[in-house]
A and B are shown apart, each in its own frame.
Chain A
Amino acid sequence: MLSFLLTHLKIMMPKLNPTVIYEFVVTVFLACWFLATILCQFKETKVSWFIRYKIDFFSLIPLWTFFAPHPGKRDYHLLFRDKITDGNYSEWQEMEITEERTIWSWLWNPEKRDKKILSDVVQSLVSSIPSYREKTGSLNLLMFSTPYIIVLHAISQYKKQSQNCFRQFMLAESSGYQKETAPSLILLSVFHQI
């Protein structure tokens, strides 16, 4: 019996060379990656949450639902103002998130980067508002979230009215080139010392 097994093992051994083992490992890895991509197309499941937030360190699992099911049909606006004295505020100033493209944007479009960053951050902030309201009943903890801090950091870079400046920001949305609906408020921050 033992000699039979050894003979079989000897026949098998040449097949299990490093190339075959490597081929097997990479194939399994790619198959798992493909399977994980399929599973993560369903946003709300526990499995997709686990893969996305616990395993996918480098954002390698894509979400392929471009502009669906809800196409982004609103433009976000980020505005800020300073408190000069109690009851006395500066005018609201808008931080440019959106910009009309040039005729070369189909080939060369560096502007899309910072616009996309702010748009992502604002969208992330907007989407997390309901869960903060639901869990804590207020938006106080939202101030500790990364997107909130990025927005605060972004607006705090603008010229200050005084050295000891208190700044407030407002997130609003509008319907872009369509003027059918009026712009609406999404979030009004407290005054932050910057």
Chain B
Amino acid sequence: MILFNDISQTVLIILSIGLFISTLEYLKKVQIFSPDGLLSWNVMQLKWTKQDQKSFLKPFFKLFSAPGLAGLFIIRCLLIIGLLFYPLQSTTGWILISLLGASLLLASLVTYYGSDGSDQMSMLIIITLILCNLPVLASGKLRDIGLWFIGLQACLSYAVAGIAKLVSSEWRSGTAIKDVFSTKTYGSKKASLLLQKYPAANRFLCWNVIIMESLFPLCLFLPWEFALIFLIWGFTFHFFTALIMGLNSFFWAFMATYPAIYFINHQMPWHLF
């Protein structure tokens, strides 16, 4: 049985919970890959038009059917369960995570439409863990580098999202969240009505997201007790986006990066004060 005393392992465990849920969700919706489904391979293969791409994909044609992908998702669930029993740094653990990574990469060829930032963050973490934990060749230093990469990508994601909001007049004027919550795609009727009733709350939420996302990378340089404020904010933010907007997979993918942020913060040779 694995233990939580290793940071890379903790990253993997948190991510695995999200991946397990997300894979079961795909399994429930596997009909979207059938010939009359939205992501039917008959249509999706049109995206890959070049001859070399076609010949590369040919061996996988059977896999990209609904039964093929259902099999792949079941195997993925079993791999995730297997990872509960074999540590990442063991040979078996590494083989399991490599197969998990391969299944994610393969499925990404069909799920070009419908995947989101959480899927990309999950893939990024899994590939980094595979590369940085290769038995025999991977050193402790490389494992640390992998954690730095994951933590820095997380900080980059928040900072980019924050700056992109800062340059947006809709976010600065404090109407963006109300407008997003007003949609049926990402919103909620209750939240939308509440924000229409209290415009000040709307402005507060918009600026709260802009400031905290833009300043998020500071959590690497602040003393840990202050850095923790950003992580608690992040936890709350992702919890509420899951609750109100239904973005449940973002919660797990981004929470998985927090142990890496903790690691970088504690490795940082100096702090701001």
Pair B182/A150 contact, Cβ less than 8 Å: no
Pair A71/B156 contact, Cβ less than 8 Å: no
Q: Which stretch (B2-10, B167-175, B261-269) binds chain A? A: B167-175
Pair B168/A108 contact, Cβ less than 8 Å: no
Pair B149/A34 contact, Cβ less than 8 Å: yes
Report the minimum CB–CB distance from B201 to chain A (whole Å). Answer: 17
Pair B117/A67 contact, Cβ less than 8 Å: no
Q: For B38, what are the chain A residues with a Cβ–Cβ distance below 8 Å?
A: 114, 117-118, 121, 150, 153-154
Residue B187 interfacial (CB < 8 Å): yes
Of A22, A29, A74, the contact of B183 (CB 8 Å cutoff): A74
Q: For B42, what are the chain A residues with a Cβ–Cβ distance below 8 Å?
A: 153
Given contacts A98-B185, A106-B243, A113-B114, is CB(A34)–CB(B153) below 8 Å? yes
Given contacts A69-B171, A71-B176, A106-B246, is CB(A149)–CB(B186) below 8 Å? no
Given contacts A62-B121, A65-B164, A113-B29, is CB(A105)–CB(B149) below 8 Å? no
Q: For A65, what are the chain B residues with a Cβ–Cβ distance below 8 Å?
A: 160-161, 164
Q: For B171, what are the chain A residues with a Cβ–Cβ distance below 8 Å?
A: 68-69, 71
Of B28, B141, B164, B243, the contact of A68 (CB 8 Å cutoff): B164
Return the CB mask of B132-162 against A: 1 if under 8 Å, else 0.
1010011101100110010011001110110
Within 8 A of B (CB), among A108-155: 108-121, 124, 146-147, 149-150, 153-154
Q: For B78, what are the chain A residues with a Cβ–Cβ distance below 8 Å?
A: none
Query: Which of A26, A111, A118, A119 is the most central at the interface, judged by chain B CB atoms within 10 Å of its CB?
Result: A26
Pair A62/B120 contact, Cβ less than 8 Å: yes
Q: For B170, what are the chain A residues with a Cβ–Cβ distance below 8 Å?
A: 69-71, 73
Q: For A15, what are the chain B residues with a Cβ–Cβ distance below 8 Å?
A: none
A72–B176 Cα distance when bound, in Å, is 9
Residue B180 interfacial (CB < 8 Å): yes
Report the minimum CB–CB distance from B105 to chain A (whole Å). Answer: 5
Pair A149/B29 contact, Cβ less than 8 Å: no
Q: Which stretch (B58-66, B82-90, B123-131, B222-230) binds chain A? A: B123-131
Residue A38 interfacial (CB < 8 Å): yes
Pair A101/B164 contact, Cβ less than 8 Å: no
Within 8 A of A (CB), among B21-58: 21, 24-26, 28-29, 32, 36, 38-40, 42-44, 46-47
Of B46, B114, B153, the contact of A120 (CB 8 Å cutoff): B114
Residue B198 interfacial (CB < 8 Å): no
Q: Which stretch (A79-87, A161-169, A170-178) binds chain B? A: A170-178
Residue A91 interfacial (CB < 8 Å): no
Of B114, B186, B248, the contact of A117 (CB 8 Å cutoff): B114
Return the CB mask of B78-117 against A: 1 if under 8 Å, else 0.
0000000000000000000000000001001100111111
A76–B183 Cα distance when bound, in Å, is 9
Extra contacts besides A34-B149, A149-B46 (14): CB < 8 Å:
A23-B142, A26-B142, A41-B160, A64-B156, A68-B164, A71-B177, A75-B185, A97-B185, A106-B251, A114-B32, A116-B116, A117-B113, A153-B38, A178-B182
A interface list, Cβ under 8 A from B: 18-19, 22-23, 26-27, 29-30, 33-34, 37-38, 41, 58-60, 62-76, 97-101, 105-121, 124, 146-147, 149-150, 153-154, 157, 175-178
B interface list, Cβ under 8 A from A: 21, 24-26, 28-29, 32, 36, 38-40, 42-44, 46-47, 105, 108-109, 112-117, 120-121, 123-124, 127-128, 131-132, 134, 137-139, 141-142, 145-146, 149, 152-153, 156-158, 160-161, 164-165, 167-168, 170-171, 176-177, 179-180, 182-189, 192-193, 196, 239, 242-243, 246-248, 251
Complex A-B: 26 CB contacts under 8 Å: A22-B137, A23-B138, A62-B121, A64-B158, A64-B161, A66-B117, A67-B161, A67-B180, A68-B165, A70-B168, A72-B183, A75-B185, A110-B24, A110-B29, A113-B25, A113-B29, A115-B185, A119-B185, A121-B113, A146-B47, A147-B113, A149-B46, A150-B38, A153-B40, A176-B185, A178-B196
